């Protein structure tokens, strides 16, 4: 075992896998997140099978949570009193091994070899270990783990033990364990009491090689079932015993192995939960899922996993020549994004996916703005499910709007089940842009799929209720402009401001989309109470939307009067004072020109039609100088717009930051779970940035250009039943239609029809422009190589 000087040395750089060639005990928690497996319903952190040592134990079920108190220094109207926190559910990963009575523990004896590999094409986590016990017995342990992408309720582990030198007595204990001990839960004793042991045992049954445990939560009233079943193959005599207790189920296997002989155990796991089904129903659901898994068999599960991923990669893969780290990272990101939502099936996609406990397991606006665009063009059904979950929570959003004295729906800033769980008003409730972010995701999905059933049953109502919020939240001023005052945009270092440009432009799109979709579906719109007059009022508000512009500076202020604020003194800010929210009072941040994350720049990405090319260039340079990137969400947007305005090398630098956020643990908090939105940023920076992809009105537009450090970029995507591939070199772009009818595309502003014949088009040269400056010490790490040809890597970022 080694202790690396920097986290960047942990994983080998390979195009289709993430490999840890030595065990780094000081990086266990990070690797547990990186090696997490999920399908959007079940999430298993990459803990060692023997359970110890660990960084953070973690097994999760999407939307399975416990209630906890939300403390407030002072009570206030509209403040939520109860929070929701995803909990660590029954752990089925545990397989303990004893070799001649010595427990297998990597901290004792000697590790001759230890390697783990996340295979992005097979969808498996494999582990290969050779261990010499303190008593000098040597065994080789090989495990392969998967969470099925085709069987929603199933995970499985194939565990093999081989005697290497002499005969050994082997005992394997395969377990289900509920209410595992967790690291420090914080200083609030009420939170510790709620989350320390959240599960109450209702049933435990052991039968042969199968065990089922059923639990319920103490406060949220949810019930879950977990079960395990085993296939065991051993060369000689075998002893198998099963037992169960309220919080523990165990199947114990004992045998004797001669050198070269193996014990092989296939452990099938099944999980289910419900807020309504009875204990017998959950029990039967788990038993049925185990039966389905055994019928499919281990080899069948592997084959189905590979086939599913082969189909996914055929319409989603991105190839990058010239930057091997980014090549690995973009596939790693796509894999985890797929895992986060593929079988969520009308449940949320959390900010950390199901990879760790960060952010209490909540979903935010990150999902609709950064994650769903990737899924929309690679695996659209997962995007539809995420939006269907928002629709299921719409009654709660309508109720919240009424509580706040507003029309329409007010979606929560952070939540698991649909109730608002943010106890901080300026960066939570006041960030109404989440409504427009959801509407934008709906409009994008409808454009990309032409799914009229979804439009009628889900999309229309989401657009209508979000539009109603804007119409009531804003007002026409004495000059006829439509104002939206007192809101917080994406930049959380500015709060409760008037006419945030991002919010107003996205609300404008929301209002127009609602009117258009209501017109296409008049009967459904009438059912929702939409009158001709109401739809006309949405169009009027959109047409009169106030978009501030500073004529003196020639830039758009982030919000009204923002450019009149004093500039932050970046030269006097020390490196250890980032992230700034942990070192300066919000009051001081709110009254200065300092930006936590891309806000106005994000508006230029998502509403590029509202800005001229000259405005984009000036705006980008202005906000580069005051953006400190204290959020992991920022770099991807800066990469996209840097590429659009011709700052290709700078875009490459930002691409590296967003792509490597977790593989290099740049924010030093990957232990709490992966940054799913930042992982999505690698795709966005490459496809929307260097590929210049924009979509709308049934047309895909591209404006590809590559930086000096990337010699070739190829990406695949799906759009309106087509599957296509775009390949870009330094001076040419090749467009190929692999499936579907001819499609209208634009290449650097010129329209073409893409059919059976590929289009080979020239890429215009990039005009030379001065590189913008960033705040002192906050420049992105360069992606260029040093004189020895080694990649210059990023150091600690300190972002959240």
**Residues of the binding site for substrate:** 365-366, 596-597
The DSSP bridge partners found for residue 661 are none
Q: For residue 42, what is the enclosing H or E element?
A: strand 42-44
The rounded Cα 179 to chain-centroid distance in angstroms is 26
473-478: long-range contacts, CB 8 A cutoff, minimum separation 24 = 473/406, 473/407, 473/432, 474/507, 474/541, 476/541, 476/544, 477/546
CA distance 28 to 3: 11
User: Max Cα separation, the chain?
Assistant: 90
CA distance 389 to 385: 6
Helix then strand then coil, in percent of the chain rounded to 5, is: 35, 25, 40
Which residue's structure tokens are 């996609």?
349
Which residue's structure tokens are 């001065």?
770
Which residues, 6+ apart, have CB-to-CB distance to 499 below 8 Å? 483, 484, 485, 546, 547, 548, 559, 560
Whole-angstrom CA distances from 715 to 185, 306, 625, 712, 718 are 43, 20, 32, 10, 11
SS (H, E, C) 244-256: ECCCEEEEEEEEE
Q: For residue 319, what is the enclosing H or E element?
A: strand 318-321
Binding residues: 365-366, 596-597
DSSP letter for 495, please: -
Residue 231 class from Cβ within 10 Å (0-12 exposed, 13-18 middle, 19+ buried)?
middle
Among the listed residues 49, 368, 420, 492, the single catalytic one is 492
Residue 257 class from Cβ within 10 Å (0-12 exposed, 13-18 middle, 19+ buried)?
buried
CA distance 752 to 761: 10
- Token representation of residue 454: 């979804």
CA distance 674 to 655: 17
- Token representation of residue 674: 């992966």
The DSSP bridge partners found for residue 159 are 143, 265
Is residue 81 among the annotated active site residues?
no
CA distance 635 to 639: 6
With left for phi above 0 and alpha for psi between -120 and 50, is residue 385 left, alpha or beta?
alpha
Task: Look at residues 606, 589, 424 and name the one whose alpha carbon lies nearest to residue 508.
Answer: 606
CA distance 215 to 211: 13
Which are the catalytic amino acids? Answer: 492
């Amino acid at each position: 075992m080694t202790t690396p000087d920097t986290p960047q040395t942990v994983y080998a750089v390979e195009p289709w896998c993430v490999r840890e060639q030595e065990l780094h005990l000081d990086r266990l928690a990070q690797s547990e997140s990186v090696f997490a497996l999920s399908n959007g319903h079940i999430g298993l952190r990459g803990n060692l099978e023997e359970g110890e040592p660990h960084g953070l134990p973690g097994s999760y079920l999407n939307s399975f949570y416990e209630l906890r108190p939300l403390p407030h220094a002072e009570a206030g109207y509209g403040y939520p009193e109860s929070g929701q926190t995803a909990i660590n559910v029954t752990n089925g990963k545990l397989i303990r091994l004893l070799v001649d009575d010595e427990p297998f523990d990597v901290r004792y004896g000697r590790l001759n070899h230890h390697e783990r590999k996340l295979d992005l094409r097979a969808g498996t986590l494999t582990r290969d270990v050779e261990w010499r016990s303190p008593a000098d017995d040597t065994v080789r342990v090989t495990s392969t783990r998967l969470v099925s992408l085709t069987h929603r309720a199933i995970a499985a582990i194939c565990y093999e033990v081989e005697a290497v030198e002499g005969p050994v007595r082997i005992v394997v204990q395969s377990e289900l364990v509920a209410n595992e001990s967790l690291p420090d839960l914080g200083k609030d004793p009420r939170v510790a009491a709620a989350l320390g042991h959240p599960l109450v045992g209702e049933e435990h049954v052991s039968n042969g090689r199968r065990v089922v445990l059923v639990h319920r939560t103490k406060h949220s009233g949810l019930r879950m079932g977990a079960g395990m079943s085993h296939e065991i193959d051993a060369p000689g005599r075998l002893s198998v015993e099963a037992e169960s207790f309220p919080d523990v189920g165990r199947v114990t296997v004992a045998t004797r192995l001669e050198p070269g002989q193996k014990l092989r155990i296939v452990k099938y796991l099944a999980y289910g939960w419900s807020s309504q089904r009875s204990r017998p129903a959950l029990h039967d659901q788990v038993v049925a899922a185990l039966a389905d898994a055994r019928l499919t068999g281990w080899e069948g599960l592997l084959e189905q996993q590979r086939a599913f991923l082969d189909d996914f990669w055929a319409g989603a893969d991105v190839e990058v020549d010239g930057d091997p780290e980014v090549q690995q990272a973009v596939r790693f990101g796509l894999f985890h994004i797929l895992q986060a939502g593929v079988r969520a099936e009308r449940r949320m996609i959390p900010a950390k996916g199901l990879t760790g406990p960060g952010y209490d397991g909540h979903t935010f606006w990150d999902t609709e703005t950064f994650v769903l665009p990737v899924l929309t063009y690679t695996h659209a059904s997962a995007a539809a499910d995420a939006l269907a979950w928002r629709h299921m929570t719409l009654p709660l959003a309508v109720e919240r709007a009424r509580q706040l004295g507003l029309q329409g729906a007010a979606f929560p800033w952070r939540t698991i089940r649909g109730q608002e769980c943010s106890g901080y008003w300026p960066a939570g409730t006041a960030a109404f842009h989440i409504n427009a972010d959801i509407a934008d995701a709906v409009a994008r999905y409808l454009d990309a799929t032409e799914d009229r059933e979804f439009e009628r049953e889900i999309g229309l109502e989401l657009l209508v209720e979000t539009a109603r919020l804007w119409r009531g939240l804003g007002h026409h001023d004495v000059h006829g402009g439509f104002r939206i005052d007192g809101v917080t945009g994406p930049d959380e270092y500015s709060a409760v401001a008037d006419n945030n440009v991002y919010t107003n432009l996205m609300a404008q799109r929301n209002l127009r989309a609602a009117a258009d979709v209501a017109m296409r579906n008049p009967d459904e719109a009438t059912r929702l109470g939409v009158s001709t007059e109401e739809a006309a009022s949405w169009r009027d508000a959109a047409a009169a939307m106030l978009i501030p512009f500073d004529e003196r500076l020639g830039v758009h202020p982030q919000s009204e009067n923002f450019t009149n604020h004093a500039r932050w003194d970046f030269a006097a800010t020390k490196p250890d004072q980032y992230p700034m929210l942990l070192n300066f009072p919000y009051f001081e941040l709110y009254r200065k020109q300092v930006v936590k994350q891309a806000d106005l720049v994000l508006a230029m990405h998502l509403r590029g039609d509202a800005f001229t090319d000259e405005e984009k260039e000036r705006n980008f340079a202005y906000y580069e100088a005051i953006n400190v990137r204290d959020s992991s969400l920022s770099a991807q947007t800066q990469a996209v717009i840097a590429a659009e305005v011709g700052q290709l090398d700078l875009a490459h630098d930002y691409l590296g930051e967003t792509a490597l956020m977790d593989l290099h643990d740049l924010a030093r908090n990957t232990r709490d779970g992966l940054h799913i939105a930042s992982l999505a940023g690698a795709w966005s920076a490459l496809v929307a940035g260097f590929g210049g992809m924009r979509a709308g009105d049934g047309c895909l537009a591209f404006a590809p250009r590559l930086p000096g450090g990337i010699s070739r970029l190829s990406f695949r995507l799906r759009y309106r039943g087509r599957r296509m591939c775009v390949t870009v070199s330094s001076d040419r772009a090749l467009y190929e239609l692999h499936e579907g009818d001819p499609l209208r595309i634009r290449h650097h502003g010129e329209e073409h029809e893409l059919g059976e014949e590929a289009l080979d088009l020239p890429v215009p040269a990039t005009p030379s422009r001065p590189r913008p400056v960033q705040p002192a010490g906050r420049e992105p790490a360069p992606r260029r190589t040093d004189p020895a040809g080694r990649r210059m890597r990023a150091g600690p970022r300190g972002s959240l």
